[in-house]
């Protein structure tokens, strides 16, 4: 069992803002009606604010505040609003030293939830131990 307390990630903020800026720059020179340009700008702005609030700063009530690795593919997730949910780490999760993306399937919800972990997303030693556990959780011998 390993408990990973998440914290806001400055590196993830830079990545998210950069991605949204690139999308805006790509969208800007298109020859589209003004109402479509405004709708696109509004959509990008809403996406940026939502992602920063819920995924980067972890301020939303449904933001993941803590992930507890229970062994194998079982995890327990604590949301910022205090809700505790049991989940399963899907095999599609991505684990590297630079980036970890946990794809979680909750027992109580039919949808998949994603948790992005970068080097500043949690305490360094705990994050390293979590990556080791996650990499070995799905090892399949031929």
For the stretch 65-96, pLDDT in tens is: 999 999 888 999 999 999 999 999 999 999 99
Q: Are residues 38 and 100 in the same domain?
A: no
pLDDT value for 138: 57
- The span from the CA of 89 to the CA of 140, in Å, is 15
pLDDT value for 108: 81
pLDDT value for 139: 56
Domain housing 52: 10-56
Q: Are residues 74 and 125 in the same domain?
A: yes
Residues of the chain with pLDDT under 70: 137-142
Q: Are residues 68 and 130 in the same domain?
A: yes
pLDDT value for 46: 98
pLDDT value for 111: 85
Is the pTM higher than 0.85? yes
pLDDT value for 24: 95
Q: Which residues of 114-142 are buried (b: 16+ CB within 10 A; e: fewer)?
A: ebbbbeebbeeeebeebbebbeebeeeee
Q: Are residues 120 and 77 in the same domain?
A: yes
Q: Are residues 108 and 123 in the same domain?
A: yes
Q: Are residues 87 and 123 in the same domain?
A: yes
Q: Are residues 44 and 16 in the same domain?
A: yes
pLDDT value for 137: 66
Q: Are residues 69 and 133 in the same domain?
A: yes
Q: Are residues 39 and 24 in the same domain?
A: yes
Q: Domain for residue 83, yes or no?
A: yes
Query: How many structural domains comprise the chain?
Result: 2
pLDDT value for 45: 97
Q: Domain for residue 142, yes or no?
A: no
């Amino acid at each position: 069992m390993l408990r990973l307390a998440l914290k806001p990630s400055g590196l993830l903020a830079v990545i998210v803002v950069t991605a949204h800026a690139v999308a805006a720059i790509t969208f800007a020179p298109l020859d589209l009606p003004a109402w479509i340009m405004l709708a696109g700008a509004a959509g990008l702005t809403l996406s940026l604010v939502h992602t920063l609030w819920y995924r980067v700063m972890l301020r939303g009530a449904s933001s993941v505040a803590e992930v507890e690795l229970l062994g194998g593919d079982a995890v327990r997730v604590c949301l910022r609003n205090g809700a505790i949910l049991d989940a399963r780490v899907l095999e599609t999760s991505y684990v590297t030293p630079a980036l970890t993306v946990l794809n979680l399937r909750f027992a109580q919800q039919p949808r998949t939830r994603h948790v992005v972990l970068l080097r500043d997303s949690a305490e360094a030693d705990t994050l390293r131990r979590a990556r080791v556990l996650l990499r070995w959780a799905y090892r399949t011998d031929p």
